[in-house]
Chains A and B, each alone.
Chain A
């Protein structure tokens, strides 16, 4: 005991003497808070519906892929196509999340409270962008990861794992760039209005309308067909194979040139790659007969004009997809191969991200704090 006498006072107010964090840690706190709110944590149950619905829907093909891998069948949806084929769900995700992140604070005029604290103007949009990019990336990469792990579990050799990993890698590229592009664009839109419904609507409309325009440009305006004729000399054609020629393989109409037929032709005619060049239809030359060794095939491939290739660039989804095709020399495409303007797709992708992100930062530099 010291000689000092101590008296307890009810002082009511206790000054805070603990640590005070710096700007970087505050920025991190805002990032974590925003990331949680994207998934509806810290909000009511209704806020969790859309993010978890989207995550679940994206996981469905992945689950089927795991089953297909274990059963030794082809994947239901290859990972590099997930982002493009299911783009509606990531769009739905950001259309709901971006307004949740920024429109709320605009609507309730909460921003002055943030800017009256140590955060700088640019920190707020930075935390929001990082949070939405992280959230969308997590949602998009999860099915890719699940598919890959399913493949790994079924793979017999290390080399096969390597090949699967290599094949799945473009999916990571798509997840990253869809996450970054969709997030910046949707946050920029949402930051212009305090009304969440309007922001959600405008974001959805932007993606849907540009998708429609892109489809019209590629499939209606910019597509022509080119005829090809090839002759195959097959020394011995068995009766069974010949019969296949007569049937659905070369028969005209919807059955003609189906996938199975294409594979049969591929086996017979060396150097013929059915999956290449978007071959839509194969017809047997009129004078070809079953049992003959010489087979002449005509088939059509779509030829996309520059209008089609440039037209696809209006759509952010196609921009990511086109740049993937160009970078990874992908062949099994669902949009026109951007060659020779592939670099333009990649450049557009970067410009869009920089413009949307820059616009967002400018928006918050100018926002009034009254």
Chain B
């Protein structure tokens, strides 16, 4: 983390207003480091708009973006030659073989004929379709089609992969293997990956960094380490005497935050003794305990629950 690397994506004061008057992005400033970055947001949050701007397909109303050190306004062509894009929706013809399709798109990326064939075979091998590469895409399952979509983005060794909802339509097993594949691409292949998804719980497993946008605004950007480090909270729900418990725990020197909306008490877990302290406190006060929950991996709540995020800010 201490090594300062050149950001893969840098956006400053990015605003995108569509001609119809819809504002998709407002004053978005972010920087994406190498590695796997999750781009999280609800549907309509502006993820796809951001991706189109990154590809130089949309010109932002104001602000600047650079991808791989190239300005999107001036050098969109070069960027598109070095960035692999996997769209969210179905984009595959049914009546050609996977090899033909990926080879053709390799040519469209700028590979010479022979190199395109080799790279297409490589890309299909990496996504696990080596055996099926001569089959018509129409005969593929949804999971295999997603892999072809990934292969066409991967062909030609891109410096950055933009994946828009790569696990869409997959069953749990398919999701897991797709995520494992993306993780492998991001780590072993050394390709920077941006994964856009509305399912944070899913991509948090493979991401090094997370960027959350909501309503076209940056909600939060941080490396996942800092988030998970900051996260260990113990949520306590008691039927009564929540204020007494808070006072008691604070006396013990714990970091406590009262979540009025949830009617829960969040206690920061600094170490194992915290659990004992909490247990003893509840026993001493003789409070009716209804819930005791360890909240380590629910990163999602950071984004969905503004209040929780504010607690976090206070603590960081």
Residues of A within 8 A of B (CB): 12-16, 18-23, 25-26, 29-30, 33, 42-44, 104-105, 108-110, 112-120, 369-370
Contact = CB atoms under 8 A, between A and B. Distances in A.
A42 B100 contact: yes
A186 B140 CA distance: 33
Interface stretch (B2-10, B79-87, B266-274, B275-283): B79-87
B91 interface: yes
Given A13-B189, A20-B81, A370 B100 contact: no
A117 B189 contact: no
Interface of B: 48, 52, 55, 57, 77-78, 80-81, 83, 85, 87-96, 100, 104-105, 107-113, 115, 119, 122, 126, 152, 156-157, 188-190
Given A16-B115, A16-B119, A116 B55 contact: yes
Residue in B88, B104, B119, B152 whose Cβ sees the most chain A Cβ within 10 Å: B104
Contacts of B95: 43-44
B52 to A, nearest CB: 7
A14 B118 CA distance: 11
Q: Majority SS of interface residues in chain A? A: loop
Contact of B87 (A16, A19, A20, A112): A112
Contact of B157 (A15, A29, A30): A15
Nearest to A119: B108
Contact of A23 (B77, B93, B122, B157): B77
A117 B48 contact: no
A113 B87 contact: yes
A310 B222 CA distance: 71
A43 B115 CA distance: 22
A367 to B, nearest CB: 11
Contact of B111 (A12, A20, A23, A43): A20
Contact of A29 (B87, B88, B107, B119): B107
A298 B249 CA distance: 123
Nearest to B57: A369
Contacts of A108: 90-94
B110 A118 contact: yes
B112 A19 contact: yes
A312 to B, nearest CB: 41
Given A112-B87, A116-B55, A370-B48, A104 B111 contact: no
Given A109-B91, A118-B108, A120-B77, 7 more contacts: A13-B190, A20-B81, A26-B109, A109-B87, A113-B85, A118-B77, A118-B78
